[in-house]
């Protein structure tokens, strides 16, 4: 289940050259993996390179900036493990 207004950010601009505009520097892509039976609450942001394992719940308004293990309830900014289920 996926709530409304979520953001899945699998790419970002490169910022390596100070003499060039950011939109001329390309971008990097990082895979995002979401397991089976995952609930993602409303207004969640998931950053690139993140894996959310199966049977997990992500609370509303969460910034997922680290991997989430199986059978976990997580939430907050930044994300914290709330409970194993």
Q: Which residues are catalytic?
A: 13
What six digits make up the tokens of 54?
């199966």
Q: No. of H helices and E strands in the chain? A: 0, 11
Burial of 8 (0-12, 13-18, 19+ CB in 10 A): middle
């Amino acid at each position: 289940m996926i709530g409304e207004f979520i953001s899945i950010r699998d790419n970002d601009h490169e910022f390596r050259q100070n003499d060039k505009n950011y939109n001329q520097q390309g971008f990097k892509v990082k895979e995002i993996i979401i397991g089976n039976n995952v609930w993602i609450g409303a207004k969640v942001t998931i950053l690139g390179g993140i894996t959310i394992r199966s049977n997990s719940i992500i609370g509303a308004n969460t910034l997922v900036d680290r991997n989430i293990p199986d059978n976990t309830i997580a939430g907050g900014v930044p994300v914290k493990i709330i409970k194993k289920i």
